[in-house]
Structure 1
Amino acid sequence: MAQSLLRMTLRQLQVFRAVCLHRSYSRAADAMALTQPAVSLQMRQLEEVVGQPLFEYVGRKLYITEAASSLLSASEDIFQRIENLDMQLSALQGTLQGELRLAVVSSIQYLTPHILAAFRQRFPQVSFRLEVCTRAQIIQRLRDNRDDLVLMGMVPADRALEFYPFLNNPIIAVAAPSHPLAGRTGLPLGAMENHMVLQREPGSGIRKACDEYFQQKRVHLQQVMQLGSGETIAQGAIAGLGIGLVSAHGAAPWLQNGQLVQLGFAELPFFRSWCVVHARGKRLSPVAQAFQDFLKEERGVIKELAQPFD
């Protein structure tokens, strides 16, 4: 290691990360409660330590250099390790504290806060940063290692991921109460072929699960309207556009208030699993490990929390 790098300080790295985030010395100064000259001085000193320029201006826009990109990646690792150390020291004192960075697919977004609240009852000093994403965004976030853990269904088999199923994910058919099939029971799945069906885009977890299930049952949907999210499908069904294929957890608010009804198909719901997922080989923070253990060991509690959403 170049001895000069040992002269960089954590404060310099904090200011550096702020400049990278805001792409502006003045905005970084505001965020850090510093003056702009103080930020400029810290960055000049850091560039002297690194021995290369970290920023360059093209016109009036600030860009980070290749050296800055490498330093930013290293600094993220440094601060993550410090955060983990803080959690470990707290654990040695008999407490668990820190932040859990969690990303979830949109169809489980309504249930997730209830799970987090139950977890926080046991560990009241834990906080959360929750991101709701599409399946494609979740996969990209896993690739970029942006979260401690993610919650999703249909875990991609072509990636090096560790996952654990913790809850059944019922896939149901919903429609407005005025739909011709509303109120009927024992419907054959093939009856759906005669109606407009609202589905997610190819690549979403629910769409993939539905395609596989309908293929297995030899049902060929004739009229399909593609909508971009579970909420949009629910609203489309409420508006009378057709039958929505959705996760029961995602549709729960509209089923509970009567804007949607669950259709009585004999072969629905079918079930997939919600899974807690992280990259294989990832070293989990104490908070992330505790949350993953909670999902594994308290399936009865989680199942009870999910009942209003089924």
Structure 2
Amino acid sequence: MRKSLLRMTLRQLQVFRAVCESRSYSRAAEAMALTQPAVSLQIRQLEEQVGLPLFEYVGRKLYLTEAAESLLAASADIFDRLDSLDMNLSTLEGSLRGELRLSAASSAQYLLPHLLAAFRERYPQVTFRLDVTSRAQIIQRLADNLDDLVIMGLVPADRALEFFPFLNNPIVAVARPNHPLARQTHIPLARLEEEMVLQREAGSGIRKACDEFLQLKRVHLGQSMQLGSTEALVQGAIAGLGVALVPGHAAAAWIRRGELVCLNISELPLMRSWCAVHSRGKRLSPVAEAFLAFLREEKALIRQLAEPFEPTVADQ
């Protein structure tokens, strides 16, 4: 190992990471409560220790050099190990402490905060960082090892992943109360061929699950409209654009308020599961291990937390 690398300090790496994140010396200085000359000095000393420039300007924009990309990856490993050390020391002291880093599919955002709150009641020194994003971004985050765990519905079968299904995720058809189908019972699934059906964009987990299900049932939609979020699907159905295929948890509040009804379609809901997922072989932090144990052991509590989000089918 180069002896100069042993002179690097954690403070220098913190400043370096702040510059990488903000792509600005001045914004990094503000975030770190330092002066801009102090940030510049720390980066200059770090470049001397590394032996290569870390940043370059093109026009007015700051870019990371190849050396900076390598150092950023190494610093992430260093701080991850320190976080893990802190958690392990807390466990040895008889308490669990640390940050649980999660990303989740957008349709999980309604229920997941309630699960996190219940988990934190048991471990009050745990904090969370939750990113709500698309299925494609979640898969990329898994590949980049950015999270402790991800919460998603449709787990890719072509990747080396470990997953634990912990709660049903029903996909239902909803419409506003004055829709012609709202008061009908035992509606054949094929009836959707005559309706305007609101769906998520291609590539989303909900869209993939619905497309595979409809293909299996040989139902071919005559009209469909693509909307880019679960919230947009719900609001589109409320506005009267058509029948929306959505996760029941996402529509439950509007169903309870009477702004939507869950249609009584004979082969729905389409049952899927919410899963906690991580890369196979990933070294989980004590907090992530504890959260997985919570999901496995507290099934009754989780079902109780999910009850307010369960959709009620109209006029059965």
TM-score (norm 2): 0.96
Residue 4 of structure 1 deviates from its aligned partner by 1.6
Question: Counterpart in 2 of 1:278?
Answer: 278
Secondary structure of the structure 2 residue equivalent to 1:187? coil
Q: Give the secondary structure class of the aligned counterpart of 1:201.
A: coil
Shift of 1:250: 1.1
> Does the C-alpha gap of structure 1 residues 27 and 221 become closer, same or farther in structure 2, counting only changes over 3 Å?
same
% identical equivalent positions: 71
Is 1:192 paired with 2:192?
yes
Structure 1 residue 58, shift from structure 2 partner: 2.2
Quote the Cα distance in structure 2 between the aligned partners of 1:257 and 1:104.
Answer: 26
Aligned to 2:28: 28
Q: TM-score, normalised by structure 1?
A: 0.98
Alignment-derived partner of residue 222 in structure 1: 222
Which residue of the partner structure matches residue 11 of structure 1? 11
Q: What is the rounded CA distance, in whole Å, between the counterparts of 2:293 and 2:264 in structure 1?
A: 36
Q: Specify the alignment match of 1:72 in structure 2.
A: 72
The answer as to whether partners of 1:106 and 1:250 remain within 8 angstroms in 2 is no
2:307 maps to a residue whose letter is Q
Inter-partner Cα distance in structure 2 for 1:55 and 1:215:
51
1:191-231: CA deviation from partner (whole Å, max 9, x where unpaired): 11111111111111111111111122221111111111111
In the alignment, structure 1 segments of 5+ residues that lack a partner are: none
Task: List per-residue Cα deviations over 1:81-113 (Å, max 9, x = no partner).
Answer: 101100110010010011111111111110001
Match of 2:261 in 1: 261
Summarize deviations over 1:153-209 as a string: whole Å, max 9, x none: 110111111111111111111000010000211111111111111111111111111
The one-letter amino acid paired with 2:200 is R
Q: Secondary structure at 1:273's aligned position in 2?
A: strand
Kindly provide the CA deviation profile for residues 230-249 of structure 1, in whole angstroms up to 9, marking residues without a partner as x: 11111111011110001001
Cα distance change on mapping 1:60 and 1:266 into 2, 3 Å? closer
- For residues 193 and 43 of structure 1, do their structure 2 counterparts lie closer, same or farther at Cα, with a shift above 3 Å needed? same
Structure 2: distance between partners of 1:251 and 1:259: 10
Q: Residue in 2 aligned with 1:59?
A: 59
Q: State the Cα distance separating 1:285 from its structure 2 match.
A: 0.8
Secondary structure in 1 matching 2:138: helix
Structure 2 counterpart of 1:266, one-letter code: S
- Return the offset for 1:12: 0.8
CA distance in 2, matches of 1:200, 1:58: 39
Q: In structure 2, how many angstroms separate the alpha carbons of the residues matched to 1:20 and 1:55?
A: 9
Partner of 2:133: 133
Q: Name the CA distance, whole Å, in 2 between partners of 1:191 and 1:65.
A: 57
* Aligned pairs, number: 310
